[in-house]
């Protein structure tokens, strides 16, 4: 049994420790209170996240429908930001994320990833055509 305290669980789930405690108190996060501390079994967290046995599609089960599978073509870390270039078929997609996110995901060139696009609108522009 791999037990995590609140801070470890927060780091593992990329959430604030106060949020972890609130979720555990409400019963939405599997954990056990021991004295004044919360303990979380990593296997329970993995089950909750669906990390044990991926979905039939082998992808992420999230609400966003715009998911594109690709391969990390290049990764540039600069200061607090990271530029991630993905190869999706014959196309390239560029995402700017925080350096911390790239490090937490342990991104590396060649990794298979999923780009999740969540937007309320997409605009297309074109220069004026000479008449």
53 vs 80: which has the higher pLDDT: 80
Task: Please give the average per-residue pLDDT across 51-56, as a whole number.
Answer: 44
In the chain, the number of structural domains is 2
pLDDT band at 55 (very low <50, low <70, confident <90, very high): very low
89-118 pLDDT, tens digit each: 889 999 999 999 999 899 999 999 988 887
Q: Is residue 80 part of a domain?
A: yes
Q: Kindly state whether residues 14 and 44 are assigned to the same domain.
A: yes
Q: What is the pLDDT of residue 116?
A: 83
Structure tokens at 110: 């060649």
Q: What is the mean pLDDT of the chain?
A: 83
Q: What is the pLDDT of residue 117?
A: 81
8-45 pLDDT, tens digit each: 998 888 889 999 999 999 988 999 998 889 999 988 88
Q: Kindly state whether residues 43 and 9 are assigned to the same domain.
A: yes
Structure tokens at 25: 């108190």
Q: Kindly state whether residues 73 and 35 are assigned to the same domain.
A: no
Q: Is residue 30 part of a domain?
A: yes
Q: Kindly state whether residues 71 and 31 are assigned to the same domain.
A: no
Q: Kindly state whether residues 38 and 77 are assigned to the same domain.
A: no
Structure tokens at 43: 């296997």
What is the value of pTM for the model shown? 0.49
CATH number at residue 84: 2.40.50.100
- Which of 74, 81, 76 has its CA nearest to residue 98? 81
User: Half-sphere exposure of residue 9, counting CA atoms within 13 Å on the CB side?
Assistant: 29
Q: Is residue 131 part of a domain?
A: no
Sheet of strand 112-116, all strands in order from the earlier edge strand to the far edge: 91-98, 81-88, 67-78, 112-116
CATH number at residue 19: 1.10.10
Q: What is the pLDDT of residue 51?
A: 55
**Where in the sequence is the domain holding 28, given as residue range(s)?**
3-49
56-87 pLDDT, tens digit each: 334 556 666 677 888 999 999 999 999 999 99
Q: Is residue 17 part of a domain?
A: yes
Q: Is residue 130 part of a domain?
A: no
Q: How far is CA 57 from CA 64, 86, 99, 109, 119, in A?
A: 15, 20, 29, 23, 23
């Amino acid at each position: 049994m791999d037990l995590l305290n609140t801070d470890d669980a927060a780091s593992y789930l990329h959430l604030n420790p106060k949020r972890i405690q609130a979720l555990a108190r409400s019963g939405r996060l599997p954990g056990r209170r021991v004295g004044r501390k919360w303990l979380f079994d990593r296997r329970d967290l993995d089950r909750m996240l669906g990390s044990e046995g991926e979905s039939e599609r082998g992808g992420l089960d999230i609400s966003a429908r715009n998911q594109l599978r690709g391969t990390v073509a290049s990764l540039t870390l600069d200061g607090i930001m990271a530029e991630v270039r993905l190869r999706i078929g014959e196309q390239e997609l560029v995402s700017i994320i925080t350096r911390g996110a790239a490090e937490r995901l342990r991104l590396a060139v060649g990794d298979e990833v999923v780009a999740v696009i969540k937007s309320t609108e997409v605009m297309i522009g074109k220069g004026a055509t000479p008449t």
